[in-house]
Amino acid sequence: MKVRFTPSARFQFLYALAYIRRDKPSAATSFREHSETVLRRLEDFPESGRIIPEFPELPYREVIISPYRFFYKIKGDIVWIVAVWCTASKATKALNANKKMEMELTTKAEPIFGEFKGLDCNRLSKRGRIKA
């Protein structure tokens, strides 16, 4: 299995790192390293993340790397990270109201994840680092 980010999830992850880095650069580095370790586990254990409790009927799972939730979907031999949300944000409550509708639309539209296969920036590198 390979772990890759969709473009929007990659943006959300990099935004989270930039946000953390503003206050404490060392915390951003620690969060990135911890995220890489946890997400790399999905290569060997793709179903180790929990089913999203709010929407158990949807084909998405999540890994929590506090205070962020990494939502993903297994598609063939690729684990696609599709969203990264901060659980501490007040905006999360507003997003949660629309989450079911957004995920239903995504499920019905079923994005063609294969189109992202050639994007090196979405893969974990050989050294275990997420390419930025």
Rounded to whole angstroms, how far apart are CA atoms 37 and 121? 17
pLDDT digits (tens, 9 = 90+) for 118-127: 333 444 444 4
* pLDDT score at 96: 52
Q: What is the pTM (predicted TM-score) of this model? A: 0.68
Higher-confidence position of 123 and 59: 59
Q: Which residue has the tokens 């994007």?
A: 119
pLDDT band at 87 (very low <50, low <70, confident <90, very high): confident
* pLDDT score at 19: 92
Burial call 33-47: b when 16+ CB within 10 Å, e when fewer: eebbeebeebeeebe
In the chain, what are the domains?
Answer: 2-122 (3.30.2310.20)
User: CA 123: distance to chain centroid?
Assistant: 12
